[in-house]
Structure 1
Amino acid sequence: MRKRILMLDDNQDVLDIVKEALSYERFEVTITSETENIIENIQAHMPDLLMLDYKMSGTRGDEICREVKAHPQLSNIPVIICSAYLNKDDLLACGCDAIITKPFGLEELVDTVNGLIFSDQRLEAGD
């Protein structure tokens, strides 16, 4: 069974590129730009990994990450936050498992996704 990834970003070009790259790596990728009802959307898809843009119109990625990590059914889903506007310490405080700085290379993206999904390597606050 293919591993499922749900990506939330308000930039359609980023969504399309990430979906193409991760689909090529044999992941089942669902993309969305809708922050409204995102917890219900995550529950409906039950992804193996969640990717969130940090700065979006509507709810920010760190806020969504906090909700996911506080939710009893979703808290074990690894979360990657992607952003050009980030403070690593602030993002780690929200409970994310990895941070990818935009713009990012596809190799970095695939390596980070594989690391979290297959070997459960998570960022530590001291990294």
Structure 2
Amino acid sequence: MSKKILVLDDNRDILDIVNEVLSYENFEVRTTSTSTNILQMARDYSPDLMILDYLLSDGNGGEICKQIKADKTLSHIPVIIFSAYINRNVDYPSFGCEAVIPKPFDLNELVDQVNNLIAQN
């Protein structure tokens, strides 16, 4: 059975690339460009891993990660945060994420991080 990944990014091009790469790696991928109802989407989809963009047009991936980790039905899900703002003194671990990948990102690094986190979970 394929492992499921839920990806939130407001950039459609990034969603398309991540979807293509992870689908090629035999993951079942669901993407969304809006943070509206993301927690309910996660509950309904039951992903094995979530990838969140840090800076969204309608929210903040760090704050969404905190909500995921505070929710007893979702807190076990590993979270990767994508960010183009790595050097802006943001304390990413304080959000509870398991990994941070800087944008632009290397596709091999993304696949490696996803495989490592899913294997640990």
The TM-score normalised by the length of structure 1 is 0.91
What is the rounded CA distance, in whole Å, between the counterparts of 2:77 and 2:89 in structure 1? 20
What is the rounded CA distance, in whole Å, between the counterparts of 2:39 and 2:21 in structure 1? 25
Q: Which has the higher strand share?
A: 2
Counterpart position of 2:99:
98
Contact 1:88 / 1:99 at 8 angstroms: preserved in 2? no
What is the rounded CA distance, in whole Å, between the counterparts of 2:115 and 2:89 in structure 1? 21
SS at structure 2 position matched to 1:29: strand
Alignment of 1:1-127 (within 5 A): 1-86=1-86, 87=88, 90-120=91-121
The TM-score normalised by the length of structure 2 is 0.95
Shift of 1:118: 1.1
Shift of 1:37: 1.1
User: How many residues in Structure 1 have an aligned counterpart in Structure 2?
Assistant: 120
Name structure 1 gaps, 5 residues minimum: 121-127
Counterpart position of 1:125:
none
Question: Which 4+ stretches in 1 moved above 6 angstroms?
Answer: none
What is the rounded CA distance, in whole Å, between the counterparts of 2:54 and 2:39 in structure 1? 16
Shift of 1:88: 6.9
Name structure 2 gaps, 5 residues minimum: none
Determine what percentage of the aligned residue pairs are the same residue. Answer: 54
Contact 1:9 / 1:52 at 8 angstroms: preserved in 2? yes
CA spacing shift, 1:110–1:60, aligned 2, 3 Å: same
Cα-Cα RMSD? 1.1
